[in-house]
Structure 1
Amino acid sequence: MPEITKSVKFDNIAREWRCKWADDNDKAALSAAQAALDDVLADLSSVEGVGSVQRVVCGGCLDFKVVTKLSAAAFGDWEKAKFAPEEEFLSKLKGIKGISNVETQTYTLEEVKMNKKDIKKAQEKKEKEAAEKAKDAPKAPEDPAKKLKKVLKEGGKRGVEIEGAADMGGLQFFCTSVDEPEGDVELLTKCVEAMNAKSDPSEEERKGGSGHIGKMVFSAGAEHLAVLAYVPEEKQAALSCEAWLEKVLSQQPGYQVLTKAKDVSTGIIPTNADKGIFPLKIREGLILEANNYLRKLGLFPEDDGDDDDECVFGDDDFPA
């Protein structure tokens, strides 16, 4: 197949005859042009290799065009024959009063309409590319008030779940992760505060209630993994909040301790693509490390080798 570029190929070539016609005398020039075409149409249609002959008439720009399409293989022979009956037709056009701008042009002419199967494939590809583009595009900043509301809602709900799970297993400490803060330490702090808030039994939907349970909470964002350690006052003699956080963070290079206190300490582990450090990738391993640190102090059940008994909780361990 002949090609103009690697992506622009063709099988057919068209020869166009065109002119302008005057819009007066009841469109007499247009009628005469049509008559001239009728005189040569049989000869034109019988040219070897002709695939179609089309007439184009525009009442706005006053164009009259005849487009003859041939296979690329047959076009050369027609060209050698001087595109007969072209000379006869153009001569007739030039002799018509009100006809002007008599011209010719040669170009490729291809049918590019897709069939239903190809249409579906193309649309699916376009949708997939658009989805990928949208995924990679920077997100518009969310309204802070709406974002905080989501964070508090997740924290309150998770607090009830932690209270129930910890009480069932007789746990004093709990490790988990949350979604909504998206690696923002300030929002993670608000989320944990909602977990620890006293539960109001009069509310239709209970929230919080896990303030008596020590916890380490992880939140993955694009730029870093945020980590918060919380140790209630009555458990601070058994566990140093600062030491617990430092031990977990130190498992990855480049970590930063942001705040230190007996009850709440925070820090982050920045994303480092060169070293393969990605928040979601390292999160579960650090939850295990947080539990292992508690085990060494006798504050968490020993791992007896049965995976079903391992108390490690991530995003998917609680129902939506």
Structure 2
Amino acid sequence: MFEKAAMLFLYCETPVHAGTGTSLSIVDLPIQRERITGLPIVQASSLKGVLRAEVERLKGKQIAETLFGPETQRASEHAGCVSPHDARLLLFPIRSLVGVFAWATCPLVLERFKREMIAAGFSVNWSVPSLPTNSPQAFVAESSEIIADATIVLEEFAFKAQPSQEAKNIADWLATNAFPQSNEYETFRDWLPKRFVILPDDAFRDFTQLATEVIARIRLKTETKTVAEGALWTEEHLPSETLLYAPIFVSKPLAPNANQLGLTDSDAVLRELGGLQLDRLQIGGDETVGRGIVKVRFVRPEDVQKS
């Protein structure tokens, strides 16, 4: 049984392609999505593999196997004690008529995020404003800079701007507790309340399905420098400036050598994970063309309570 929890926030600095393989749709290589909501995710298995590789690089194979379990051929020896969940969408960037782009979310996403935070032992002091799924309105903070004539225009769709104290509270909380805290993100944290918008659920879902980045890729023939037969394809990516979150649950280590490594209980496991001071990770495919770089923030419940 899991005893402790933390939250891993992933801020996309480049487009991210966590793919599902081939598809019969208009995009050859789509990204991973939830079956019911259609919202983008990064599956837990992908995230676990990345975290395991990073722990092994920083701390060695013994620590990695204690935390995440031994390799497949030795899986019967013991289970791992760290369980990352799917990385779910929290903020999605959308082109805006003014302010360049907006960080968008919706009540469904916020309520699920709040539920998961509370289940993981976090303190959440904001409420999600009510907004009908087919509403023509969108909530923004009083200081919003994406409003033109009382209207928010995202891509080619317009919403009536509704200033909301709850929206500002959520944006401020995310800037403090979810956004990266390093110096290079100071301006982005300042921008968030000014470019934050809560859209109706249906509109947000449509944007996440129709406003992702679709990139054409080719492979050239060495001799002629022309496209090789069958070597033209399209890939879907989560855009830069997307924010994801993934709950991380831990239990008491089961590895025989856990005590020797100083991993005596779940608190020690959380300290070990926090002590890694993870900075940036590469998630998904296309590593050799600069895709999948995310800025990481590891947050424990006591970190939020002190903020």
TM-score (norm 2): 0.22
Higher relative contact order (CA 8 A, sep 6+): 2
Query: Is the helix fraction higher in 1 or 2?
Result: 1
TM-score (norm 1): 0.21
Which structure has the larger Rg over C-alpha atoms?
Answer: 1
